[in-house]
Amino acid sequence: MPINKLTSKQKAVLKYIYDSIRYHKLPPTVREIAQHFKFKSTGTVRDYLKILVREGVIRITANKSRAIELVYENLFAIPILGRVQAGLPTLAVEEIEDYLNMDSLIFSETDTFALRIKGESMINAGIFSGDLVLVQKQNIAQTDEIVVAVIGEEATVKRLKKKGARYFLEPANPHYQDIIVDEQVNIIGKVISVIRRFH
């Protein structure tokens, strides 16, 4: 926290640790720090590390290689800002509401694939032509879920609805018509997210 209390040399060491994590994605070893600053002894580095720990800007774990941790750093995910103040966002701790993780898809048990939307049939659900939808492979779905169905050779994205005992696929666009689910219709997945890019 009190980075101002650090001397310029201590700040330089801290910055090197920071850069090492940021660009090499790995905290440095004691000897890597020594080499960078042309220190001829690892003891010098340990003096610096002790000071940085004492000042509360890093944490280290005993007997563990590269176990230097920056106290106020969150490098991994993309911050989701809850509150934005005037000027360019500083990504200050107070502003960060949460972190966006892209990883939940990757290690999911079932396979995931993406499909590019063609047509306007789901515009009222905010799914536009050209959007990508991420689809979780499954051949059943629940009512009101947006599903991917194959009819003949065509894949279509619609909302699954039920009226009485009959299931049908409902577009989110009054200009399109419902599709009754019968033997010709195969549900192949559930839409789990929509991604749109502005080139």
Closest C-alpha to 194, from 161, 148, 140: 148
Q: For DNA, which is the closer residue by CB, 48 or 158?
A: 48
**56 is a site residue for DNA (CB under 7 A):** no
Q: For a copy of itself, which is the closer residue by CB, 53 or 81?
A: 81
Per-residue tokens: 170: 């409902």
Q: Name the binder of 59 from a copy of itself, DNA, none, CB < 5-8 A by kind.
A: none
Task: Specify the length of the chain in residues.
Answer: 199
Q: Which of 35, 44, 112, 173 binds a copy of itself (CB under 8 A)?
A: 112
| Catalytic-labelled residue, pool 118, 137, 158, 163 | 158
What residues between 139 and 198 interact with a copy of itself by CB under 8 A? Answer: 139, 145-146, 148, 150, 152-153, 155, 186, 188-198
Q: Kindly report the three-state secondary structure assignment for every residue of 59-73.
A: EECCCCCCCEEECCC
Question: What b/e string do you get for 162-199 counting C-beta neighbours within 10 Å, with b at 16 or more?
Answer: eeeeebbbbbbeeebeebebeeebebbbbbeebeeeee
The owner of tokens 């809850």 is: 82
- For the question of residue 65 being annotated catalytic, the response is no
- For the question of residue 158 being annotated catalytic, the response is yes
Residues recognised as catalytic? 121, 158
Interface residues toward DNA, by CB under 7 A: 7-10, 29-32, 34, 37-44, 46-48, 51, 60, 62-67
